[in-house]
Amino acid sequence: MSRNLIIAANWKLNKGPADAAAFLDAFCVAIKEFKGSADIVLAPTFLTIPSVVAKLDGCDRIAVASQNVSEQESGAFTGEVSTAMLSEAGVQYVILGHSERRSIYGETDAIINAKVKKTLAAGLKPIFCIGETLEEREGGKLESVLTTQITDGLKDVADLTDVVIAYEPVWAIGTGVTASAEQAQDTHKFVRSVIANLYGQSAADAVRIQYGGSVKPANAAELLGQPDIDGALVGGAALEAESFFGILENSSF
């Protein structure tokens, strides 16, 4: 089963509109030379989304993601942003369950599950992040942690067609330490088997599973060449147009 790669930049709390415009000035020129077929996604802060969407007019094939969304519809929820607002702004994907949301902001599997369902109901596509800490991996809990995150995070989600999964080992995020291609492949294969148990083999064969954790141009080809790795979610190396484009270039083999 061939799955189109999806390569996404998570800008986190970086790049206001001016910095994003400077990135796109360079990136939109570079992308004209890109021969690969990967889906390309940029995830700016909420504040920067409208200027990125406006600037992408004339810079084809790039979709926009938000880094979070409210599970609420509207009303007295200070500081939140709704799925309807994101749709109106031109967003297509929503990153959910990132380890920073889980560990710093206390998002539980239940909260993430509510956000996944809200996102899908609005016609947006969740990039649903899962991953274990080093302590969990070394303590032999890798499989149980991932199984719980998947089972609880996707509870009552009937159809995975619009869901992208991002496997991001917490110990590899922003640390410069990357899972080896073999470790990442083994874990992606396991994640796909959990999906097969829950949704059946054809859904498991179709679902795209990105790897995230210190992906850079130098390691992208090896990681993205693994049979169960269907793309990358990139933090640090996506802040510069040149290195993010370098990852894309290493995705077309």
Q: Which is nearer to ligand PEP, 82 or 149 (CB)?
A: 149
Q: Which is nearer to ligand PEP, 11 or 199 (CB)?
A: 11
Q: Which is nearer to ligand PEP, 199 or 212 (CB)?
A: 212
Q: Which is nearer to ligand PEP, 82 or 214 (CB)?
A: 214
Alpha-carbon distance 171 to 133, whole Å? 6
Q: Which residues bind ligand PEP (CB under 6 A)?
A: 10, 168, 173-174, 212-215, 233-237
Strands (E), 125-185: 125-130, 164-167
Asked whether 157 and 127 are in contact (CB, 8 A), the reply is no
Question: Least distance to ligand PEP from the beta carbon of 172, Å?
Answer: 6
Catalytic residue among 71, 100, 168, 188: 168
Alpha-carbon distance 56 to 50, whole Å? 10
The radius of gyration computed from the CA coordinates of the chain, to the nearest angstrom, equals 17
The full DSSP string for 35-93 is: ----EEEEE--GGGHHHHHHHTTTSTTEEEEES---SS-SSS-TT---HHHHHHHT--E
Annotated active-site residue 98? The verdict is yes
Catalytic residue among 98, 100, 107, 132: 98
Alpha-carbon distance 58 to 119, whole Å? 27
Question: Least distance to ligand PEP from the beta carbon of 169, Å?
Answer: 9
Question: Least distance to ligand PEP from the beta carbon of 67, Å?
Answer: 9
Annotated active-site residue 168? The verdict is yes
Alpha-carbon distance 156 to 214, whole Å? 32
Active-site amino acid positions: 98, 168
